[in-house]
């Protein structure tokens, strides 16, 4: 496998992992909507310390937008589902 093929494979793997993450957040939302919101936006723990959420840790991310988009399209987090 040459360097170009390796880069294509890495890009494909990153896309696959990202789609899996979107599906996991959708499943979180179904199971515990408030928990999914806290995971995305952050929360104060039982001691009052702030725990950063995904959006704060990854401000460049489109995760929340993509979760919302997939939800609207009917994705409910099933394995391999992408609409």
**Is 90 exceeded by the pLDDT of residue 80?**
yes
Q: Is 55 inside a domain boundary?
A: yes
Report how far residue 50's alpha carbon sits from residue 29's, in angstroms, rounded to the nearest whole number.
21
Q: Is 26 inside a domain boundary?
A: yes
Q: Is 80 inside a domain boundary?
A: no
Q: What is the pLDDT of residues 41-58, one digit of tens each?
A: 999 999 999 999 999 999
Q: Is 39 inside a domain boundary?
A: yes
Tokens of 74: 């009917």
Q: Are 70 and 17 in contact (CB under 8 A)?
A: no
Report how far residue 13's alpha carbon sits from residue 15's, in angstroms, rounded to the nearest whole number.
5
Q: Is 7 inside a domain boundary?
A: yes
Backbone phi and psi for residue 51, each to the nearest 5 degrees, phi listed first: -110, 120
Q: Is 34 inside a domain boundary?
A: yes
Q: Which domain holds residue 40?
A: 3-72
Q: Is 81 inside a domain boundary?
A: no
Tokens of 53: 């959420």
Q: What is the tally of structural domains in the chain?
A: 1
Report the length, in residues, of the chain. 83
Tokens of 4: 């170009």
Average pLDDT over residues 49-71: 97
For residue 81, what pLDDT is reported? 97
Q: Is 78 inside a domain boundary?
A: no
Q: Are 26 and 40 in contact (CB under 8 A)?
A: no
């Amino acid at each position: 496998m040459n360097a170009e093929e390796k880069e294509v494979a890495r890009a494909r793997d990153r896309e696959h992992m990202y789609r899996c993450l979107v599906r996991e957040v959708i499943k979180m939302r179904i199971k515990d909507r408030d928990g999914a919101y806290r995971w995305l936006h952050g929360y104060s723990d039982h001691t009052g310390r702030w725990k950063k959420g995904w959006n704060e840790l990854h401000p460049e991310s489109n995760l929340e937008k993509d979760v919302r988009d997939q939800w609207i399209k009917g994705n409910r987090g099933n394995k391999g589902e992408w609409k």
